[in-house]
A and B are shown apart, each in its own frame.
Chain A
């Protein structure tokens, strides 16, 4: 049996785990969530969610991956043979995310190159939707390939292939040792610029003004748990896979906490940077900050370019901002794709090089649909369904099965035996009670919400094809893969 690959250093593992957790959402989702849900007061449910769900789950996944030394399907199969499908479910969620995530990074790469001469012009909204994407009117009319996105995506798939092909130590670890320090330096430079802009303090006032009455609203707590859940790369096979490459003597508890705190710290800094810039923009336009606030794709590719146009040395700031999106996205992309490759290697006994090449080709072909004129609309539907039904339901099933139908104590004893500090029974309580209740509520609320009202006003046929069929299809495929005989070393 081949020796499992290992990280070269502890720093390499931490940077890779942090790189996976830090993604586009830290920059374009967290600040808006905080602003929208009580400002500074949001930090109270946010940190509560971090301690009662984020850290317990990340430690659980690090512990399982390390103890059973396998990708997600192999790890779950080693725990109980009939749970292998759960690992495959998470792997397919990762695969689907990878094929559209690469396209968002491709947009950012295009914008990085355009930033020198502010290629988005004086009307970034029209530029993004009409000129750059040439967005079609329906997800069912895909139109043609948008070639600048195609070329950028090709480059990103090539880099991803190169990293996966080179292995854990010489590929993933090395890439993150470059991406992460550069990303933090980029963020610190932008932060320094943003907070010294005229009007920045007004932006920060809107972000951090504490509205403590929001804490009484259960929706704010759900938003906080959702933000923590989505930001840490948990429950979609990544952290189990990454921790399976740790050496036998590894400090699981501290590694888990460090990853979680650094990720959330990055979100805090990104929030200050984004709202500093928005505050300046609002001042320049003579409008309140609430009129310029946004999130997601709209914030990154419309609002921020508008704000960049108003900055001194705007091209330089634009370059830094979009390059930081590329780096944050790339480190996550590598982790998402590695979770898939590792599962195939473990199950079928293929070599890494063959798997990386095959996976990249399949991934590239699948991502073509998101590079079309209708790509953004398809992406929006797939992302909504994968997040709300793929990740949340897979997370709920994982936590319930592992904490209620498996001796959770064996994992706790394993990690406490290795770690510098021990975790107590609070960890079991959080995993057995708190997390299932919150995830269960989120899952049911998501399901009811989508049944009552069609998402985004899209045609039902598009929602069925790109939403329901995708989330149900990957479950069927997962069960099918469990029935397939694997290589001798698979459990």
Chain B
């Protein structure tokens, strides 16, 4: 894989799962329904 492809793969995984992780951490802090 080229560096460009690796960067884009990490970018995609970072935005999606990073975004989900941030949402999850906010949810864990407040714990409403």
* Interface residues, chain A, with chain B CB atoms under 8 Å away: 7, 9-10, 13, 39-41, 43, 47, 201, 204-205, 207-210, 246-247, 249-251, 254, 257-258, 261-262, 264-265, 267-269, 272, 418, 420-421
Residue in B1, B6, B8, B20 whose CB lies within 8 Å of A261: B20
A191 vs chain B, min Cβ distance (A): 11
Instruction: Kindly provide the distance from the CB of B22 to the nearest chain A CB, expressed in whole angstroms.
Output: 8
Q: Chain A: interface secondary structure?
A: helix
Chain A positions within 8 Å of B19 at CB level: 257, 261, 265
Q: Is the CB of B32 within 8 A of A10?
A: yes
Closest to A38 in B: B8
Extra contacts besides A265-B17, A272-B9 (18): CB < 8 Å: A10-B27, A10-B33, A40-B7, A205-B1, A208-B1, A210-B5, A249-B33, A254-B23, A257-B19, A258-B23, A261-B15, A261-B20, A261-B23, A265-B19, A268-B12, A268-B13, A268-B17, A420-B30
Q: Please, which residues of chain A bring their CB within 8 A of the CB of B12?
A: 40, 43, 208, 268
In the complex, what's the smallest C-beta–C-beta distance from A63 to chain B, in angstroms?
15
Beta-carbon contact of A258 and B2 below 8 Å: no
CB-defined contacts of A246 to chain B, threshold 8 Å = 33
Q: Are A40 and B15 in contact (CB under 8 A)?
A: no
- Measured between beta carbons, the chain B residues less than 8 angstroms from A205 are 1-2, 5
Q: B24 → chain A, closest Cβ, in Å?
A: 7
- Name B20's contact: one of A251, A265, A272 (CB within 8 Å): A265
Using A261-B16, A262-B20, A264-B16 as known contacts, say yes or no to A254 and B5 having CB atoms under 8 A apart: no
Q: What are the 8 closest A-B residue pairs judged by CB atoms, nearest first?
A: A40-B8, A265-B16, A261-B19, A208-B5, A261-B20, A258-B23, A264-B16, A208-B9
Please tell me if the beta carbons of A209 and B2 are within 8 angstroms of each other in the complex: yes
Residue pairs across A and B with Cβ atoms less than 8 A apart, 12 shown, are A10-B33, A40-B12, A204-B5, A209-B8, A210-B7, A246-B33, A254-B23, A254-B27, A261-B15, A265-B16, A267-B16, A268-B17
- Beta-carbon contact of B4 and A421 below 8 Å: no
Q: Closest CB-CB distance, B2 to chain A, in whole Å?
A: 6
Tell me, in angstroms, the Cα distance from A372 to B21 when the chains sit together: 45
CA of A155 to CA of B15, assembled, Å: 38
Is A210 in contact with B8, judged by CB distance below 8 angstroms?
yes
Contacts of B2 in A (CB 8 A): 205, 209
User: Is the pair A420, B5 in contact by a Cβ cutoff of 8 Å?
Assistant: no
Which chain B positions have C-beta within 8 A of A268?
A: 12-13, 16-17
Bound form: Cα–Cα A205–B7 in Å: 11
Q: Say yes or no: A47 contacts B9, CB within 8 Å.
A: no
Cα A249 to Cα B6 with chains together (Å): 42
B20/A210 in contact, CB under 8 A: no
Closest to B13 in A: A268
Number of A-B residue pairs at CB separation under 8 A: 93
A contact residues around B17 at 8 Å (CB): 261, 265, 268
Contact A43 B11 (CB under 8 A): yes
Q: Is the CB of B32 within 8 A of A251?
A: yes
For residue B8, give the distance in angstroms from its CB to the closest CB of chain A.
3
CB of A39 within 8 A of CB of B27, answer no
Indicate if the CB atoms of B20 and A420 lie closer than 8 Å.
Answer: no
Which chain A residues border B26 with CB–CB below 8 Å? 254, 420-421
Closest B residue to A421 using CB positions: B26
**CB pair A40 B5 closer than 8 Å:** yes
Residues of chain B with a CB closer than 8 A to A420's CB: 26-27, 29-30, 32
User: Is there an interface contact between B5 and A209, defined as CB atoms closer than 8 Å?
Assistant: yes
Is the Cβ of B8 less than 8 Å from the Cβ of A39? Answer: yes
- In the bound complex, residues from chain A placing their C-beta under 8 Å from that of B8 are 39-41, 43, 208-210
The residues of B that contact A254 with a CB separation of less than 8 Å are: 23, 26-27
Q: Which among B9, B30, B33 is the interface contact of A40 at CB below 8 angstroms?
A: B9
Give the most central of A39, A208, A209: most B CB within 10 Å: A208
Which residue of chain A has the shortest Cβ distance to B10 in the bound complex?
Answer: A208
In the assembly, what is the distance between CA of A209 and CA of B29, in Å?
38
- A159 CB → nearest B CB, Å: 28
Instruction: Report the separation of the CA atoms of residues A254 and B33 in the bound assembly, to the nearest whole angstrom.
Output: 11
CB distance from A147 to the nearest CB of B (A): 41
| Residue of chain A at shortest CB distance from B9 | A208
Shortest distance in angstroms between A34's beta carbon and chain B's nearest beta carbon? 9
* Shortest distance from the beta carbon of B26 to any chain A beta carbon, whole Å: 5
* Cβ contact within 8 Å between B33 and A247: yes
B25 to chain A, nearest CB (A): 10
* A124 to B4 CA separation, bound complex (whole angstroms): 35
Q: Could you tell me the distance between the alpha carbons of A434 and B17 in the complex, rounded to whole angstroms?
A: 25
Q: CB-CB < 8 A to B9: which residues of A?
A: 40, 204, 207-208, 272
Contact call B33/A251, Cβ cutoff below 8 A: yes
Query: Taking CB as reference atom, which chain B residue is nearest A267?
Result: B16
CB-defined contacts of A39 to chain B, threshold 8 Å: 5, 8
How far does the alpha carbon of A360 sit from the alpha carbon of B33 in the complex, in Å? Answer: 31
- With both chains docked as a complex, state the minimum distance between the C-beta of B12 and any C-beta of chain A, in angstroms: 5
